[in-house]
Structure 1
Amino acid sequence: MQTLFQDFRMPSNLRFGVGALATLPEEVKQWGATKIGLVSDRGLEKAGLVGRVVELLGSLSIPIVTFTEIAGEPTFRLVEQAVNHFKREQCDLVIGIGGGSALDVAKTTASLLDKSDLDPYLRRNEKIEIRKIPCILLPTTSGTGSEVTMNAIFGDEEQELKRGIVSPVLLPDLAIIDPELTLSCPPRVTASSGIDAFTHAIESYISVRATPLTKIYAEKAMKQFPHHITKAVHHGANLEARTGMCWVSTLAGVTLANAGVGAVHALAYPLGGKFHIEHGIANALLMPYVFQVIGTTCIQEMVDVAAFLQLGDYHQKPSEALNAVVDYFYQLLKQLDLPSSLAQLEVDEQSLPVLANQASKIDRLLNNTPYYLNERKILQIYQKAFRGEL
């Protein structure tokens, strides 16, 4: 029987605003934790942000154990290390601060801390049904939306691809979005994560599972995007632009969590698994090439997107909207100093058939795309992306 309903999920509490980080101690206090597990990455530790959070929580006199072994894209093996580390320390609350990698590790770790055997969840795709350990997430980038989604993406080193864990328990108890935390985000990360957020918005807008409610969030995210992305990348100290991109990320993350994404992400995952290309970079680069193909089946939505991006009114000439949107994506890569071809990322052309084969098996995402992409068509997209030719 076909499902005729769809849930709409968000974190239990989402706190947004400049200076919101200062409220963290009072929130932690409410949980009655006896030992905190803090997940972050080496870069933020070196930059002093981890120390700042530890100092902020110092008034609570609760021991804090840190895990900052994240460097680049996380793997399932890294999650195991984090879980085992916090188990030994008997942590009963997990805080994640950082980009999508740190947040994915934090919320997955919190969900697995009470599990005696991790293999079913990390290697056999068993769904995590219950999370007993409280989890608080603080993003320092505007893009992944991990703080508001039910997804966590990790590299599978054995299969050389990326796989996702999906469960409602991955939604945190509290997400604190403080734009000040994003001020130190480097230009390249700001650009790639920003376009990643836009990818969430546009893919969820056209997705098979889209609803009127999810489209409201996606539309608002896409309308905000062109006003703030360039300033946030090239003028990183601009708090207004940073705040705007935080809204883009949050709104797009909520619609991603409920309507899902599609082909752009499906083609990006093998690039991350085999060539270790950052997720945001892969999505940003692939978006024009993928939409040039799949956009032909959702012309009316492309008319909408063109209007959201202030590219013009194409209601009288809908067939031209797709070209305008695709060209905008492509030119944006140049404006934000991002690569526009796979060759620039030193992807081996001989590996393209392997990537196409891997991507063609990611049914969860391809089936959410309003265009049937078989392996041959996927290979053609990779080939165009390799040459950088639309």
Structure 2
Amino acid sequence: MTLSKLVFTPLQYIGWGALEQLGPEVAKFSPSRILLITDAILEKLGVIEPIASKLRQQGYGVTLYTDTVPEPPLAVGEQLVQYTRDGGFDLVIGVGGGSAMDLAKLAAVLAGHEGRVADYLNLTGTRKLEHKGLPKILIPTTSGTGSEVTNISVLSLATTKDVVTHDYLMADAAIVDPQLTVSVPPRVTAATGVDALTHAIEAYISVNANPTTDGLALQAIRLISGSLRRAVHDGQDRQARIDMSYGSNMAGIAFFNAGVAGVHALAYPLGGQFHLSHGESNAVLLPYVMGYIRSSCRKRMADILQAMGGYASYLSEEEASRKCVEELERLVKDVGIPNTLRGYQIPESALDSLTEDGVQQKRLLARSPLPLHREDIRIIYQAAYDGTVAEPKTAPPVS
């Protein structure tokens, strides 16, 4: 077996009421000035003030930073990093969805480095991260991105996305409290939930998968597929929210170690060019990418179907892999997400530019069990536009 490197967040608390652990974790760093990075919507909803007030009551100076946006552009990252450098902070806390947590990681690390954020981007940057920077605690308020357990910060560029990635971006502590997700509206619950499911599925079919990530990914698929519809249709369903939080967290650990592939590679240009949320970009593409690569991973797709409750044991691998794609289509539809690019008013004329940007995501494409070249990517985008699952003209060997 190929040697596997496994990386985990040093400390995690997960479960209903886990937020109570924030005070003791903050105390470990004895901070004088805390930068709490979140978004304006969470502040308006009243989610943030109880957290900040409790920290202030414990004697800490807390500064709120809410100038974050979904799918943050590079300029937003540059602005926040400079703000953090100028503020003299000694602890960063990120509270929110993936964008807020990604920005918190970025600010904590790059506050202690020279140069621009652009200098550290994966595709075009020339500088290397040299040290960890400020300590950071991450607290997700959605069940989807897994950002609290990864070393990646994603930024939007003109037409696509790029990342800053290094183990220095790992949280010192992650606190996952399902209670914080109860107020998340149905559309966001759906998009982030399918995002988490995509993480688990792509981790399981990744060429870098290993027995540890397989176990995490399959359990994440079971939890998410079994609870997402309920969480969308009844946000107060406590058990559904708990299952989604655990599933998202497991999926995050799985994909962080095994990697994601074609779905994410093709989703990045959708976010870059048309500002679709990351979750919806993944959701609309998931059945089409999986349908296209199906012949390269039939056995694993049968396993995914079984984890989703599809009773694959009495089906052949061929039948099970086809049914898996159908189940993914059904799930996306059931939670109210448009299932074609046309459903997002994306013009057919954009498919070529999406393809060109998708080809650039070599870091992600390298993990696909079926190599995806320019022609393949163009076919998948066309299928997602038309709403018809396409397959390669010549099927690769079955694995």
Q: TM-score range by the shorter chain?
A: over 0.9
Matches within 5 A, 1:339-350: 339-350=338-349
Contact kept, 8 Å, 2:290 with 2:325, in 1: the verdict is yes
The reply to whether residue 27 of structure 1 matches residue 28 of structure 2 is no
Task: Give the structure 2 partner of residue 80 of structure 1.
Answer: 78
Give the corresponding residue for 1:139: 140
Aligned length: 386
One-letter identity of the residue aligned with 2:248: S
Q: One-letter code of the match for 1:106?
A: A
Which position in structure 1 is the counterpart of 2:235?
A: 236
TM-score under structure 1 length normalisation: 0.96
Amino acid at match of 2:160: L
Deviation sequence 1:169-220 (CA, Å, 0-9, x none): 1110000000001011110110111010010101010101111111111011
Partners in 1 of 2:126 and 2:13 — Cα distance? 32
**TM-fit CA distance, 1:132:** 2.5
**How far apart are 1:302 and its partner, in Å?**
1.1
1:82-103 Cα distance to aligned partner (Å, 9 max, x none): 1111222201100000000000
Change over 3 Å in CA distance of 1:316–1:342 after alignment to 2: closer
Residue range with higher mean Cα deviation, 58-67 or 186-195: 58-67
- Displacement of 1:322 in angstroms is 1.5
Change (3 A) 1:126 1:327: farther
Q: State the match for 1:13 in structure 2.
A: 11
2:397 maps to none
Contact 1:125-1:165 at 8 Å conserved across structures: no
Q: Kindly indicate whether the alpha-carbon contact (under 8 Å) linking 1:95 and 1:137 is maintained by their aligned counterparts in 2.
A: yes
Question: Structure 2 matches for 1:208-223, cutoff 5 A?
Answer: 208-223=207-222
Q: Aligned partners of 1:368, 1:87: CA distance in 2, in Å?
A: 36
Amino acid corresponding to residue 218 of structure 2 in structure 1: E
Question: Is 2:39 the partner of 1:38?
Answer: no
- Give 1:270's aligned residue: 269
Distance in 1, Cα, partners of 2:272 & 2:167: 25
| Cα distance in structure 1, aligned partners of 2:64 and 2:384 | 40
Higher mean alpha-carbon deviation, 147-156 vs 171-180, is at 147-156
Deviations 1:314-334 (A, max 9, x none): 465111111111111111122
Instruction: Kindly indicate whether the alpha-carbon contact (under 8 Å) linking 2:299 and 2:321 is maintained by their aligned counterparts in 1.
Output: no
Sequence identity (%): 38
Q: Distance in 1 between matches of 2:151 and 2:20?
A: 26
Q: Once the two structures are superposed, what CA deviation does each residue of 1:221-241 show, in whole Å capped at 9, x if it has no partner?
A: 011122211111110011110
Matched residue of 2:38: which SS?
strand
| 1:43-90 per-position Cα deviation (integer Å, ceiling 9, x unaligned) | 101111121211121222221112101122112211111111122220
SS at match of 1:31: coil
How far the C-alpha of 1:288 sits from its partner, in A, is 0.4
For the structure 1 residues 174 and 133, does the alpha-carbon distance in structure 2 shift closer, same or farther, using more than 3 Å as the test?
Answer: same
AA aligned opposite 2:47: L
Find the aligned partners of 2:176 and 2:383 in 1 and give their Cα distance: 37
How do 1:1-390 and structure 2 match up within 5 A? 4-118=2-116, 119-122=118-121, 124=125, 126-157=127-158, 160-314=159-313, 316-390=315-389
How far residue 127 of structure 1 moved from its aligned partner, in angstroms, is: 4.0
SS state at 1:337 partner: coil
Question: In the alignment, residue 147 of structure 2 is paired with which amino acid?
Answer: S
Whole-Å separation in 2 of the counterparts to 1:58 and 1:310: 47
Shift of the alpha carbon at 1:112? 0.6
Q: TM-score, normalised by structure 2?
A: 0.94
Partners of 1:186 and 1:127 in 2: CA distance:
39
Measure the CA separation in 1 of the matches of 2:93 and 2:292.
41
1:341 and 1:87 mapped to 2: Cα distance? 43
Shift of 1:121: 1.2
- CA distance in structure 1 between the aligned counterparts of 2:78 and 2:182, rounded to whole angstroms: 31
SS of residue paired to 2:100: helix
Q: 1:8–1:315: structure 2 CA closer, same or farther, 3 Å change rule?
A: farther
In structure 2, relative to structure 1, the CA distance for the partners of 1:348 and 1:56 (3 Å cut) is same
Secondary structure of 1:18's partner?
A: coil
Instruction: Tell me, in whole angstroms, the C-alpha distance in 1 between the residues paired with 2:225 and 2:97.
Output: 22
Measure the CA separation in 2 of the matches of 1:40 and 1:296: 42
SS at match of 1:236: coil
Partner letter of residue 188 of structure 2? V
Once residues 140 and 110 of structure 2 are traced to their aligned partners in structure 1, the CA distance between those partners, rounded to angstroms, is 21
Q: Unaligned stretches of 5+ in structure 1? A: none
CA separation of 1:356/1:13 partners in 2, compared to 1, >3 Å: closer, same or farther? same
Q: Secondary structure at the match of 1:70?
A: coil
Query: What are the Cα deviations for residues 237-262 of structure 1, in whole angstroms up to 9, with x where unaligned?
Result: 11110000001100000011100000
Which structure 2 residue ranges, 5 or more long, are not aligned? 390-399
The alpha-carbon deviation at position 126 of structure 1 amounts to 3.7
Deviation of 1:129 (Å)? 3.9
After superposition, the CA RMSD in angstroms is 1.4
Q: What is the distance in 1 between the residues matched to 2:54 and 2:176?
A: 16
